[in-house]
Structure 1
Amino acid sequence: MRTEDAAAVARLCLDLGYEATEAEIRERFARLSTLEDNQAWVALWEGAVAGWVHCRGVHQLQGPSAIEIVGIVVNPTCQGQGLGRGLLSACQDWARQRGYQRIRLRSSIHRVEAHAFYRHLGYQQLKTSHSFALELSDEAGQP
């Protein structure tokens, strides 16, 4: 991924259910580009950005370090062309180069087609869980 891809990446975020402006993507990409264990790639179709993936190293006490795919999307009109497979392959190659033994990803329960795609590529479903967040700027959420 390059900074110049920010507008296209922001548009694709909508396919994941997230709104992000080009400026926000530029800022986030600049920040993550300075982190050693973060990488993002785009997939091109007919010269235009048609997908992207972002992965990062995750280090935890309860288990071995792994690469986590924190976002992946391919424009629905370009799906079935091998772009998603190529993006995941880039993550896998990058993980192997860094000595990681596992890649993880999370996928919303309603993305049934994506689940089938991941299984087809050899990913195994480990568990179903709930995701929680606390907005730190929201003082009402503090105990």
Structure 2
Amino acid sequence: MAQASHGTYRIPTAKQSWVGGLELFAAIMMMIVGLFHLIIGLAAILRSSYYVVTDSYIFSYDVTGWGWAHLVLGVLVGATGIALVMGQTWARVVGMIIVGLSALGNFLFIPYQPMWSLLIIAIDVAVIWALAVHMRELPESGKTAE
């Protein structure tokens, strides 16, 4: 499908609009997940007795350590989401990597907050999918839309 051109503004096709909407969805969800990580991280750092720690979990770490990990993840995920909204092309690939780390971190955090962790993992998977669809739809360099 061709793009109509009016001066310097190009009207996007329906497919480009749909994919651009997915990228915006991913960026906004990354900012929200970043805030979630910050909240969980601060709760673990400031009030570690809030979390019930099981002794039999193979990946058991200090709750305060998990708090710092979530705090760092929150900043990274949120900042990458902001960069994605600003149109930074590097943010797509970096976003998939950081959101993948977020999913992994929440998988390891399941014994401390099972429902919360599973919810964030589901959101992370949706964000990775949205970014991957956008990567697949990018035009190859050197080709022009006709």
Q: Scaled by the length of structure 1, what TM-score is found?
A: 0.32
Between Structure 1 and Structure 2, which shows a larger proportion of helix residues? 2
Q: Which structure would you say has the larger RCO, counting Cα contacts within 8 Å and 6 or more residues apart?
A: 2
Between Structure 1 and Structure 2, which shows a larger proportion of strand residues? 1
Which has more radius of gyration?
2
